[in-house]
């Protein structure tokens, strides 16, 4: 068993070295993101991380008195890894606060560990509704979220589409997020006394959706709700089917990848849930700085902006507490105020009963117009 | 044309050749005899470098064969027609015939045509069934095809490994009969055969192997019908 | 129910089936000769697709780009044979047994995939159509609205299968390959350089992967993780088609493509599962595949 | 000359190793180490269980599976659902999960039996893929990628779960070590060398392959159940082919076919995974690089590298001076049954279009040595394989003693008392000579008592080993007992194979070219041993080219030519028989004319 102890000793040593006492108070912030695996996950993870890193850059520029260091791990979109990394960050790296991750399943798997360990988790960019709801009644709840929330964006979409279209179709992926979203859409429409004309599903790694889209066309569907994380696939099939429905869906449709792959004119008029309006104020500067900083790798403005705000909130709370005390940081996060958010996050995002950065009122609908996503009038 | 001194070779851990000398000049037919398992096939495989001798030297056409590739030797005239003929069943008779010749790049197309014509005359059955897949020929026909295929590579040394295997005696006599005419036009021939009597009728010199060693050697005339040969097989 | 939709879906299915057939033919040629296949063949297709992407973004005309991509893939095939196949020659009973080549080729595939991720990034990329500048260039055939590339890839796969049949059964090289496949020692005695043939078959397999990579680009979004699923499906197609003739493999590929398109149309939730389970049942019942006969001459 | 008895003694339970492991597990929670290490230790335990399964499947029986993640998933879901939905207590739900994985293994095992090599790898990969798709899509049952939350965990804190996981691992490791050291391990390794060889020592190949495949799937399932109850969450994204490949990597870098391979391999894998999660940019490259390095440079894996340099190759000590001159070893070989007769009635077999054996009838009297000779291509090997059951007769009958075995499978004939050696010398390279001999013996002690001996290190397989040593001593090579085949001369390896055949206590022995490639001294040793066996009443059929050997020891000889029997009788008669001379030397009569 000696080899095992040697390995663990070397790892422990590495951590101790990292936190060698620098004069200034030193706090490590843990980050778990999906940085390898299918592109659908990696695009989210990398965009969110871009936002976090820019926020750290700005925090250091403003000269925060607590020195903050990021400890970033990749969970490979695998819940088993996420659980293991959560334990590693809390128990081995001893971080007082963690931001992460992409797959909603992973967040649901990690949250109980953070809640039990009393270490605040700023979830993001996971979207499934019950991430904060799961522990919101605990006092105190350690689970926060700075990301889009399915329930709000679907609610906004339902209100908009029910008012305009009679025949609505839905295409969703068979991943957890896809199936949960599909149920919420069907519930939402039932609430409006409407029924989906067609519901189609497809595997995450599929190459082509013409079969599913042809059924939409044959049923005369006017609006296609697209909850498949290969967001470009429905558009690719349209040309061939001589079919031009309006397409709407979650915030994923605002990724610059979609027009890049299917062309600007194909996405014209596509509506999506949105929490970032780049045409106005701070958001526009943020958009330009990100484009300058990351070039073509900057592919998801709204995800990056929420990553920025999540980090901004955490850094502000950590700076106020000044030492790696998880409970204090949790309270600081809950009561943080005066946030100059890039996304639609309000200045005082949280309250005892609301651990969501983006609330129902903050979510609006965006639309592709001339190659840019703007607020739907 | 080809000579070897003190050849020793091993397959896995068992020693199959224990110090063999071989000498064949142009125009000579040497018969290598011995019961099965005596090391005859291993000798041919060592001469053609399929098997690497761990002692001793092989000299072909004035040059040592050590380190030379099998296909290089084959293209330069050291032609070994293997045991069991190895006709490629899926290829037609013509393709089987031509496959060796096509590897010798210094042969022009009409030289190949001429040689093909010569082989068709030598074994007319090959002309009749030129388009048939090699796998469907009888044992004797396959042996003729194998010999012709070797001759198509314009050999300087031709080594035949048990052509008589599984053939009727008169077919074997037809094939062995051609050896004499081949030797006369300058070819050195090594005939490995278990059927001693038949082989001795068609060669100049002979040697008898037993357990990897040469136990008898001499001109064919002195060995024909000798009891020593029979004893080397059956005692 | 517009009548042309089902045939149109079948064409799309045929196109992807054609790609699987191209990849499976790569398995056929190396399995025939050295009883080994490149478990990273799907990743090689992905690399070719990305190489094609680079040539297009460097505005190199398609007709020049394709040979360049093929040259690059030949180099990759050479490296694969040298690193993952040749060292295992003659080591029959190593501890991992006779299947070490599965893991070494998978190892090379991991490395290649990582290099692509480092160079091109991890997200999916758009690969423009080969012969038309317009993104949605369509061809109207019998009332069906088809993408040029789909017809192209089906035609190419058929052409390759025919060429391959001629190559294997008519050309000098093909006959040499079949000689080595039958008996390497006998082939060497006929003056055939068996080492070169064993390398050549892997180069041919890489060429086929290059062809598949170039053609699949416009049909799907190209991303570094598309290789594995291609390998699995191509392996199934090779098993269904029977690893003994290129024509059988083409038929197996097209059949699998249609089955996949059809099952996606019927029940999209499990669309990709039915053809896979059906293929596995078939292989279990008839191990030599639909069209493969216990070809005596080949082995 | 003292034989290195301890080495020949064979192995027994490494109790010291187990004690050390238990001590480490008990001590770990009290060490000043972060709880994450406990979490890692838990993962190590159940990963090692799955890797042990793969080690037995691939390392011992040589069956490649690329779908272990599928069985891992079946175990995890089986247990999680039983506990969550049916409310069964966790130990019961874990048993259910393991059973579900075993059933899955049996089903895929049926595929595995019909396919070989590439197709087997492909079938298991496809099976793993199907399970992955189902677990992702049946959201109603499995919760898909969102997964099942709130799966009841075992015991309150990490230490209790670690104790359970470590306990289960220890039980599995002990079981695997027992399999490795016992008759089962020998049979699996025989299966790996070649199926014909395994059948010839009485192993029913299909049953053993199916049982191994199912057992290893169950182990993967058991690991899955532990995984499910570790964090109380089961999500389908965890059971992709990446898990199957990781388990393979762990098995390979640990050292396939070794005892400590799985634990060491799993430890290295977990360390690697934790390291890579920090440098995810180069993850696949590191995995690929390690795979290539281990496979090409360290085929023995880490265990091989660690153990390799310590285990000096055991040079056989000076061979005993055989009392050849003094008329044999004077050792009786008790337990060798009396030889029976062999009757072959007009057997024929068409093989690759040629009538390899054509209506051959032979009668071998009990307790005699019967030679079978003939020129190349005469059909000798085909006839031996017909008698041994490798090929089925197209026509005719084969009767051993009074039993008609014509339609019996090879393994059944072996169990009836037919032992054979092979032309190309089949021995298990990975096991010492004495274990190769033990392979021939049927297990006489009950499984339970055999295991007890092994565990309590009380002269495990002592009786069998002494008998094996007797046989080796009888053949004069007891010094070779502890040596691996590759460390022995070719002659001694032939003797070890003969010893294995004797160990099968045969009533009929088929020796296929016993002295091919031997020098005269070694040939004389074999001849002497065979004559001794006849002296003890054995019936022996010998196929051999070396005439000196055949003529000197055979009581009767049958000569085959072109698949037909052309002569039958005593050595002298056969030697002078015209047709035999003609067959060997070519038709003497009409070829008298000399083409000079």
Give the residue-averaged pLDDT of B43-66: 92
Give pLDDT tens digits for D18-30: 888 888 888 888 8
Structural domains counted in chain B: 1
Give pLDDT tens digits for C13-66: 899 999 999 999 999 999 988 888 999 999 999 999 999 999 888 888 888 999
Query: Which residue in this structure is represented by tokens 């190209």?
Result: C222
Give pLDDT tens digits for D194-239: 888 889 888 888 889 889 999 999 999 999 999 988 888 888 888 8
D419 forms beta bridges with: D509
**Res. C295 pLDDT band, cuts 50 70 90:** very low
Residue D329's pLDDT is 47
Residue C193's pLDDT is 94
Give yes or no for a contact between C42 and C228, defined as CB atoms under 8 angstroms apart.
yes
D344 forms beta bridges with: D362, D398
Touching subunits of C (3+ CB pairs, under 8 Å) are A, B, D
Residues from chain C that touch B100, judged by Cβ atoms under 8 A, are: 190-191
Residue D442's pLDDT is 80
Residue D547's pLDDT is 82
CB contact under 8 Å between C225 and A37, yes or no, is yes
> In Å, what is the CA distance from D4 to each residue of D10, D310, D321, D498?
11, 17, 17, 22
Global pTM value: 0.88
Residues from chain D that touch B17, judged by Cβ atoms under 8 A, are: none
| Distance, CA of D271 to CA of D290 (rounded, Å) | 13
The CATH number given to whatever domain includes residue B48 is 3.40.50.300
| Distance, CA of A23 to CA of A66 (rounded, Å) | 10
Residue A229's pLDDT is 85
Q: Where are the beta strands (DSSP E) in chain A?
A: 26-33, 67-74, 97-100, 121-123, 143-145, 168-173, 198-202, 223-227, 246-249, 271-274, 364-369, 372-375
Residues from chain A that touch D276, judged by Cβ atoms under 8 A, are: 74
Give the residue-averaged pLDDT of A184-197: 89
Q: From the candidates D484, D585, D592, D596, which should be mutated to test the interface with B, based on the most B CB atoms within 10 A?
A: D585
**Res. A53 pLDDT band, cuts 50 70 90:** very high
Of A83, A103, A112, nearest to D145 by CB-CB distance is A103
Out of C3-12, C221-230, D90-99, least confident range: C3-12
Domain presence at residue B125: no
C37, closest residue in chain D (CA to CA): D118
Residues from chain C that touch A210, judged by Cβ atoms under 8 A, are: 8-9, 12
**Res. A151 pLDDT band, cuts 50 70 90:** confident
D552, closest residue in chain B (CA to CA): B235
Residue D309's pLDDT is 54
Q: For residue B91, give the nearest of B130, B120, B122, B127 by alpha carbon.
A: B130
Residue D123's pLDDT is 83
Give yes or no for a contact between A33 and A48, defined as CB atoms under 8 angstroms apart.
yes
pLDDT at C279 over 50: yes
A235, closest residue in chain C (CA to CA): C136
Report residue D265: phi and psi, to 5°.
Answer: -60, -45
Touching subunits of D (3+ CB pairs, under 8 Å) are A, B, C
Residue D545's pLDDT is 81
CA dihedral D183, D185, D191, D193 (to 10 degrees): -110
CB contact under 8 Å between C280 and D130, yes or no, is yes
Residues from chain C that touch A207, judged by Cβ atoms under 8 A, are: 16, 219-221
CB contact under 8 Å between D130 and C37, yes or no, is no
Residue D321's pLDDT is 43
Residue D4's pLDDT is 45
**Res. B1 pLDDT band, cuts 50 70 90:** confident
**Res. B156 pLDDT band, cuts 50 70 90:** very high
Instruction: Reduce the DSSP state of residue A70 to 3 states and report it.
Output: strand
Give the residue-averaged pLDDT of D159-176: 91
| Distance, CA of B189 to CA of D217 (rounded, Å) | 61
Interchain contact A72–D (C-beta under 8 A): yes
pLDDT at C299 over 60: no
Residue C296's pLDDT is 33
B78, closest residue in chain C (CA to CA): C189
Q: For residue D433, give the nearest of D556, D567, D316 by alpha carbon.
A: D316
**Res. C95 pLDDT band, cuts 50 70 90:** low
CA angle C141/C145/C150 to nearest 5° reads: 85
CA dihedral D420, D426, D428, D434 (to 10 degrees): 50
DSSP string, B159-195: EEE-TTTT--HHHHHHHHHHHHHHHHTT-EEEEE-S-
Distance, in angstroms, between A39 CA and closest chain D CA? 14
Q: Which residue has the higher pLDDT, A176 or A203?
A: A203
Give pLDDT tens digits for D493-525: 888 999 999 998 888 999 988 887 777 788 888
Interchain contact B77–C (C-beta under 8 A): no
C133, closest residue in chain A (CA to CA): A263
Residues from chain C that touch B81, judged by Cβ atoms under 8 A, are: 189
Chain CA centroid to CA D525, Å = 29
Give the residue-averaged pLDDT of B72-81: 92
CB contact under 8 Å between D520 and B211, yes or no, is yes
Residue C169's pLDDT is 85
Distance, in angstroms, between C8 CA and closest chain A CA? 9
Interchain contact C297–B (C-beta under 8 A): yes
Residue D174's pLDDT is 92
Residue A17's pLDDT is 46
Query: Which residue in this structure is represented by tokens 């397999």?
Result: C205
| Distance, CA of A21 to CA of A18 (rounded, Å) | 9
The two three-digit tokens of residue D409, written as one number: 């499978």
B167, closest residue in chain D (CA to CA): D562
Tell how strand A364-369 and strand A271-274 pair up. antiparallel
Q: For residue B80, give the nearest of B188, B4, B164, B166 by alpha carbon.
A: B188
**Res. D46 pLDDT band, cuts 50 70 90:** very high
Q: From the candidates C4, C42, C120, C126, which should be mutated to test the interface with A, based on the most A CB atoms within 10 A?
A: C126
- Do you know the residue count of chain A? 377
Q: Which residue has the higher pLDDT, B79 or C292?
A: B79
User: So what's the ipTM on this one?
Assistant: 0.86
CB contact under 8 Å between D39 and A76, yes or no, is no
Interchain contact B8–D (C-beta under 8 A): no
Residue D328's pLDDT is 41
CB contact under 8 Å between D284 and C35, yes or no, is no
**Res. D592 pLDDT band, cuts 50 70 90:** very low
Residue D217's pLDDT is 94
Rounded (10°) angle between helices A301-321 and A326-334: 120
Mean pLDDT, chain D, as a whole number? Answer: 84
Domains of chain A: 24-148+283-361 (3.40.50.2300), 151-249 (3.40.50.2300)
| Distance, CA of D234 to CA of D392 (rounded, Å) | 52
Residue D352's pLDDT is 67
Residue D2's pLDDT is 41
Give pLDDT tens digits for D95-134: 999 999 999 999 988 877 777 667 778 888 888 988 988 8
Interface of D with C in 306-365 (CB under 8 A): none
At the top level of CATH, the class of D342-428+506-590 is alpha beta
Interchain contact A126–D (C-beta under 8 A): no
| Distance, CA of B218 to CA of B207 (rounded, Å) | 6
Give pLDDT tens digits for B84-122: 888 998 899 999 999 999 998 888 889 899 999 999 998
Work out how many CB contacts closer than 8 A connect B with D: 94
The edge-to-edge listing of strands for the beta sheet with B157-161 is: B78-81, B157-161, B188-192, B29-33, B205-210, B213-219
Tell how strand B14-24 and strand B2-11 pair up. antiparallel
| Distance, CA of A309 to CA of C240 (rounded, Å) | 53
Residue C152's pLDDT is 86
Instruction: Reduce the DSSP state of residue D72 to 3 states and report it.
Output: helix
Query: Which residue in this structure is represented by tokens 């009929």?
Result: D508
Of D62, D255, D291, nearest to C106 by CB-CB distance is D291
pLDDT at D396 over 70: yes
CB contact under 8 Å between B233 and D548, yes or no, is no
B77, closest residue in chain C (CA to CA): C191
Give the residue-averaged pLDDT of B62-81: 92
């Amino acid at each position: 068993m000696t080899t095992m102890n040697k390995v663990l000793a070397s790892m422990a040593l590495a951590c101790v070295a990292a936190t060698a006492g620098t004069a200034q108070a030193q706090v490590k912030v843990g980050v778990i993101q999906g940085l390898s695996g299918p592109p659908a996950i990696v695009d989210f993870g990398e965009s969110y991380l871009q936002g976090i890193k820019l926020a750290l850059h700005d925090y250091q520029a403003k000269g925060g008195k607590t020195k903050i260091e990021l400890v970033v791990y990749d969970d490979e979109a695998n819940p088993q890894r996420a659980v293991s990394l959560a334990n590693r960050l809390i128990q081995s790296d001893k971080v007082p606060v963690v931001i992460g991750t992409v797959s909603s399943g992973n967040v649901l798997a990690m949250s109980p560990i953070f809640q039990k360990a009393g270490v605040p988790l700023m979830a993001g960019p996971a979207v499934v509704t019950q991430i904060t709801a799961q522990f919101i009644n605990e006092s105190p709840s350690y689970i926060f979220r700075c990301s889009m929330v399915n329930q709000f964006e679907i609610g906004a979409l339902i209100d908009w589409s029910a008012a305009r279209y009679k025949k609505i179709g839905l295409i969703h992926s068979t991943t957890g997020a896809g199936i949960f979203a599909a149920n919420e859409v069907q519930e939402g429409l039932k609430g409006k006394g409407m029924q989906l004309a067609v519901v189609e599903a497809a595997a995450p790694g599929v190459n082509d959706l013409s079969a599913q889209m042809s059924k939409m066309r044959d049923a005369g569907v006017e609006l296609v709700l697209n909850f498949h994380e290969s967001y470009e696939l429905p558009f690719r099939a349209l040309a061939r089917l001589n079919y031009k429905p309006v397409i709407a869906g979650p915030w994923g449709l605002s990724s610059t990848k979609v027009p890049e792959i299917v062309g600007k004119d194909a996405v014209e008029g596509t509506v999506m849930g949105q929490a970032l309006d780049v045409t106005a104020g701070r958001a526009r500067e943020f958009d330009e700085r990100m484009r300058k900083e990351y070039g073509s790798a900057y592919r998801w403005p709204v995800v990056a902006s929420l990553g920025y705000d999540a980090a901004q909130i955490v850094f502000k709370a950590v700076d106020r507490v000044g030492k790696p005390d998880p409970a204090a940081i949790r309270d600081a996060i809950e009561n943080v105020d005066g946030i100059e958010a890039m996304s639609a996050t309000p200045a005082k995002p949280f309250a005892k009963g609301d651990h969501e950065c983006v609330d129902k009122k903050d979510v609006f609908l965006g639309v592709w117009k001339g190659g840019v996503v703007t607020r739907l009038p | 044309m080809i000579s070897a001194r003190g050849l020793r070779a091993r397959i896995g851990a068992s020693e199959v050749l224990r110090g063999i000398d071989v000498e064949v000049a142009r125009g000579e037919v040497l018969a290598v005899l011995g019961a099965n398992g005596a090391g005859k096939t291993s000798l041919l495989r060592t001469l053609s470098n399929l098997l690497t001798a761990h002692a001793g030297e092989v000299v072909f056409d004035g040059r040592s064969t050590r380190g030379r590739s099998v296909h290089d030797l084959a293209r330069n005239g050291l032609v070994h027609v293997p045991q069991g003929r190895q006709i490629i069943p899926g290829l037609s008779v013509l393709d089987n015939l031509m496959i060796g010749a096509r590897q010798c790049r210094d042969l022009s197309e009409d030289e190949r045509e001429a040689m093909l014509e010569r082989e068709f005359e030598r074994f007319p059955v090959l002309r009749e069934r030129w388009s048939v897949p090699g796998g469907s020929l009888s044992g004797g026909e396959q042996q003729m095809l194998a010999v012709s295929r070797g001759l198509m590579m314009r050999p300087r040394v031709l080594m035949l490994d048990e052509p008589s295997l599984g053939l009727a005696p008169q077919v074997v006599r037809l094939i062995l009969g051609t050896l004499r005419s081949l030797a006369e036009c300058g070819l050195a021939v090594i005939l490995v055969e278990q059927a001693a009597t038949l082989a001795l009728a068609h060669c100049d010199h002979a040697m008898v192997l037993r357990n990897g060693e040469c136990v008898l050697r001499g001109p064919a005339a002195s060995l024909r019908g000798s009891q020593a040969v029979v004893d080397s097989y059956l005692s | 129910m517009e009548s042309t939709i089902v045939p149109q879906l079948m064409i799309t299915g045929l196109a992807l089936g054609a790609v699987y057939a191209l990849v499976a033919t790569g398995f056929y040629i190396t399995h025939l000769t050295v009883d080994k296949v490149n478990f990273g063949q799907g990743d090689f297709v992905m690399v070719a697709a990305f190489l094609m992407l680079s040539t297009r973004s460097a505005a190199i005309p398609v007709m020049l780009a394709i040979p360049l991509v093929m040259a690059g893939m030949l180099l990759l095939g050479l490296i694969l044979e040298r690193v993952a196949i040749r060292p295992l020659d003659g080591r029959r009973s190593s501890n991992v047994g006779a299947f070490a080549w599965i893991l070494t080729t998978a190892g090379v595939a991991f490395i290649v995939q990582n290099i692509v991720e480092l160079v091109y990034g991890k997200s999916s990329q758009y690969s423009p159509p080969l012969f038309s500048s317009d993104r949605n260039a369509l061809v109207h055939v019998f009332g069906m609205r088809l993408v040029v590339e789909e017809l192209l890839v089906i035609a190419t796969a058929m052409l390759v299968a025919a060429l391959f049949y001629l190559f294997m059964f008519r050309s000098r090289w093909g006959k040499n390959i079949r000689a080595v496949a039958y008996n390497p020692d006998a082939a060497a005695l006929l003056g055939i350089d068996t080492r070169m043939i064993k390398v050549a078959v892997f180069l041919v397999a890489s060429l086929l992967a290059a062809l598949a990579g170039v053609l699949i680009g416009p049909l799907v979004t190209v991303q570094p993780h598309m290789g594995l699923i291609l390998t699995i499906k191509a392996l199934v197609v090779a098993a269904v088609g029977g690893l003994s003739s290129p024509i059988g493999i083409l038929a197996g590929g097209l059949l699998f493509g249609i089955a996949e398109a059809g099952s996606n149309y019927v029940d999209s939730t499990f669309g990709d599962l039915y053809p896979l389970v059906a293929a596995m049942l078939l292989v279990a019942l008839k191990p030599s595949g639909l069209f493969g006969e216990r070809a005596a001459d080949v082995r | 000359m003292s034989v290195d008895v301890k080495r020949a003694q064979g192995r027994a339970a490494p109790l010291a190793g187990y004690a050390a492991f238990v001590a480490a597990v008990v001590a770990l929670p009290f060490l000043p180490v972060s709880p994450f290490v406990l979490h890692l230790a838990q993962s190590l335990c159940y990963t090692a269980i799955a890797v042990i399964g793969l080690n037995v499947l691939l390392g011992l029986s040589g069956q490649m599976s690329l779908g272990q993640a599928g069985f891992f998933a079946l175990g995890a879901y089986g247990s999680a659902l039983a506990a969550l939905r049916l409310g069964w207590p966790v130990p019961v739900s874990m048993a259910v999960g393991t059973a579900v994985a075993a059933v899955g293994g049996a089903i895929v095992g049926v595929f595995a039996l019909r396919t070989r090599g590439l197709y087997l790898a492909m079938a298991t990969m496809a099976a793993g893929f199907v399970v992955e798709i189902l677990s992702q899509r049946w959201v109603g049952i499995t919760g898909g990628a969102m997964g099942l939350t709130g799966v009841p965990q075992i015991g309150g804190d990490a230490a209790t779960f670690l104790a359970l996981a470590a306990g289960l691992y220890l039980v599995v490791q002990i079981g695997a070590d027992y399999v490795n050291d016992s008759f089962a391990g020998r049979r699996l390794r025989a299966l790996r060398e070649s199926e014909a060889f395994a059948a010839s020592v009485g192993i029913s190949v299909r049953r053993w392959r199916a049982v191994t495949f199912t057992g290893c799937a169950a182990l993967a399932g058991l690991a899955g159940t532990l995984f499910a109850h570790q964090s109380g969450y089961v999500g389908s994204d965890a059971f992709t082919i990446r898990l199957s490949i990781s388990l393979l990597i762990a098995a390979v870098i640990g050292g396939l076919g070794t005892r400590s391979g799985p634990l060491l391999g799993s430890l290295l894998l977990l360390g690697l995974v934790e390291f890579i999660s920090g440098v995810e940019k180069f993850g696949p490259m590191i995995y690929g690089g390690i795979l290539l390095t281990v496979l090409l440079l360290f085929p023995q894996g880490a265990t091989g590298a660690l153990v390799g340099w310590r285990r000096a190759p055991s040079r056989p000590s000076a061979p005993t001076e055989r009392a050849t001159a003094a008329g044999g070893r004077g050792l009786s070989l008790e337990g060798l049954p009396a030889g029976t007769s062999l009757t072959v009635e007009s057997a024929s077999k068409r093989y690759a279009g040629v009538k390899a054996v054509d209506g051959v009838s032979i009668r071998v009297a009990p307790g005699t040595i019967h030679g079978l000779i003939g020129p190349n291509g005469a059909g000798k090997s085909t006839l031996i394989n017909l008698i041994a059951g490798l090929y089925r007769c197209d026509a005719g009958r084969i009767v051993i003693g009074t039993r008609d075995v014509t339609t019996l499978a090879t393994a059944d004939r072996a169990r009836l008392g037919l032992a054979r050696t092979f032309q190309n010398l089949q021995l298990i390279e990975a096991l010492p000579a004495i274990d190769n001999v033990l392979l021939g013996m049927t297990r006489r002690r009950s499984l339970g008592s055999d295991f007890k001996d092994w565990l309590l290190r009380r002269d495990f397989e002592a009786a069998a080993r002494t008998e094996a040593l007797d046989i080796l001593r009888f053949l004069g090579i007891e010094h070779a007992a502890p040596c691996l085949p590759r460390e022995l001369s070719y002659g001694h390896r032939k003797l070890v194979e003969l010893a294995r055949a004797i160990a099968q206590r045969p009533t009929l022995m088929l020796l296929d070219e016993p002295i091919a490639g031997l020098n005269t001294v070694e040939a004389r040793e074999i001849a002497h041993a065979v004559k001794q066996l006849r002296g003890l009443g054995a019936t022996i059929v010998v196929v051999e080219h070396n005439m000196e050997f055949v003529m000197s020891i055979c009581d009767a000889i049958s000569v085959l030519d072109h698949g037909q029997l052309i002569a039958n009788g005593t050595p002298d008669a056969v030697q002078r028989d015209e047709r035999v001379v003609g067959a060997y030397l070519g038709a003497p009569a009409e070829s008298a004319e000399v083409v000079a």
